[in-house]
């Protein structure tokens, strides 16, 4: 009984910590956009620290020099809360760059976004990247990443991976990401569902048409549980406190001897995977009961949208969509020459946001070329990261459910019931009509 009391106390403590993280993020005051030059544009993004510095140097400074327009940039890891407060206060930024289309779709439905028609050629992108919703095109990808990937060191034979994948101790797992903590866990659940149930059922779920209590959804959670050892106190503690951006180092390294990591393309620029000459396999090769007859990839992206229609904002959108603009990691723009990333020095980084801007690294890189081909090639089925595509309330609840489930997988029925109730309650929200496409 004493051991059970300690366990219950530990669970309550972590629940309190998680709630405090969310409350702290939500308590951020709205931002006054100050210091505007005569010709200026305000920009809100989620890149901070080294990622922000690189974004300014490689994209914003050249834009300012070319157009004579000053960019007033604010980066925040709690971007959703900052933007909501700014919009509510009547002082939105001119342009925002956000991860995923779900939140932007909601702002478009509320007529808060300005259409981007005429500012770039939508034929440069597949329809899933730049869909027409609410009568127009409202965002353009600035940077994209490939998911459905399992990374492993070059020294590990690929034939050994299935056996390693059945050992929870071999998986690097870190879920801390500030106000968006939990998304590496939702990535797991999403990808397992995609590989086990196929893209059609995945799309029904990600667009609000499939119940969270569906057997396929429940099986995805249970598969993740078994793969990573959910409920194991020591592993859970490391995963909840470990930052996703640097799980292999920092003050509290989450991963030390693990050889597998389920993570997006941006991790390859991290110190650990660079040193280990990281390679990847499609996740379906290691996910139990994955469908072998279908191949689909989960993807994510940072999308630029316009909240105030000014000449300066239009100029910035055109610049960000220009195929000749410096690329921060990978692009969805088909006007960029095929094979550019096999030689291009830009890497998809692992910075402070949900996928960083990257760091320079020269030389031919066939792995990058393969990732680029998957992201932009025709005939490849790609599906948006489901939580990024869901309305914000659904997304945030999903993040929290992943954290709680990892700590106590026995609560799965309760977690799914809460999520299903929220889905039903938000049936009238701005769900995307589709999240998958192969064009």
The two tokens of residue 53 are: 């510095």
Tell me the pLDDT of the chain averaged across its residues.
Answer: 88
Cβ–Cβ under 8 Å, residues 403 and 239: no
In the DSSP assignment, the letter for residue 330 is B
pLDDT tens, 176-207?
Answer: 999 899 999 999 999 999 999 999 999 999 99
Please determine, for residue 33, whether its predicted confidence score (pLDDT) is greater than 80: no
State pLDDT tens for residues 139-181: 999 999 999 999 999 999 999 999 999 999 999 999 999 989 9
Please spell the DSSP secondary structure of 139-188, one letter per residue: -EEEEEEE-SEEEE-TTS-GGGHHHHHT-GGGEE---B-GGGTTHHHHHH
**pLDDT tens string 369-379:** 999 999 998 89
Share of the chain above pLDDT 90, in %: 76
Burial bucket for residue 153 (CB in 10 Å: 0-12, 13-18, 19+) = middle
What count of other Cβ atoms lies within 10 Å of the Cβ of residue 35?
A: 9
Query: What CATH architecture does domain 146-297+384-437 belong to?
Result: 3-Layer(aba) Sandwich (3.40)
Domain residue extents for the chain: 146-297+384-437
CA distance 304 to 121: 14
pLDDT at residue 37 tops 60:
no
């Amino acid at each position: 009984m004493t051991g059970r009391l300690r366990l219950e106390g530990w669970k309550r403590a972590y629940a309190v910590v998680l709630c405090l993280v969310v409350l702290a993020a939500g308590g951020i005051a709205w931002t006054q956009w100050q210091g505007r030059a005569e010709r200026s544009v305000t920009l809100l993004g989620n890149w901070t620290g080294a990622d922000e510095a690189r974004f300014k140097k490689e994209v914003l400074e050249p834009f300012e020099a070319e157009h004579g327009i000053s960019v007033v940039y604010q980066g925040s890891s709690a971007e959703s809360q900052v933007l909501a407060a700014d919009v509510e206060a009547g002082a939105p930024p001119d342009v925002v760059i956000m991860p995923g289309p779900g939140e932007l779709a909601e702002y478009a439905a509320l007529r808060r976004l300005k259409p981007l028609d005429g500012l770039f050629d939508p034929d440069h992108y597949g329809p899933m990247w730049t869909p027409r919703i609410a009568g127009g095109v409202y965002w353009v990808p600035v940077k994209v990443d490939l998911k459905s990937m399992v990374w492993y060191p070059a020294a590990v034979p690929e034939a050994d991976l299935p056996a390693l994948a059945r050992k929870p101790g071999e998986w690097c797992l870190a879920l801390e990401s500030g106000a968006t903590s939990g998304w590496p866990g939702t990535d797991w659940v999403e990808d397992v569902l995609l590989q086990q149930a196929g893209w059609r059922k995945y799309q029904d779920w990600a667009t609000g048409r499939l119940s969270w209590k569906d057997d396929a959804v429940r099986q995805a959670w249970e598969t993740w549980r078994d793969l990573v050892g959910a409920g194991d106190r020591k592993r859970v503690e490391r995963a909840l406190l470990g930052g996703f951006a640097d799980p292999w180092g920092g003050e509290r390294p989450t991963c030390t001897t693990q050889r597998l990591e389920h993570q997006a393309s941006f991790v390859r620029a991290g110190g650990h995977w660079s040193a280990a000459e990281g390679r990847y396999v499609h996740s379906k090769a290691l996910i139990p009961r994955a469908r072998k007859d279908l191949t689909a990839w989960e993807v994510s992206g940072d999308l630029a949208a316009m909240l105030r229609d000014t000449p300066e904002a239009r100029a910035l959108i055109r610049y960000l969509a220009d195929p000749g603009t410096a690329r921060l990691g990978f692009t969805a723009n088909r006007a960029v020459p095929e094979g550019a990333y096999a030689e291009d020095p830009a890497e998809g980084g692992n910075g402070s946001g949900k996928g960083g801007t990257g760091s320079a690294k020269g030389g031919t890189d066939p792995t990058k070329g393969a990732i680029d081909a998957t992201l932009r090639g025709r005939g490849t089925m790609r599906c948006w990261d489901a939580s990024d595509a869901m309305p914000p309330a659904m997304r945030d609840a999903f993040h929290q459910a992943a954290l709680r489930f990892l700590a106590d997988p026995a609560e799965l029925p309760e977690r799914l019931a809460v999520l299903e109730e929220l889905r039903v309650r938000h049936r009238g929200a701005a769900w995307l009509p589709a999240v998958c496409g192969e064009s």
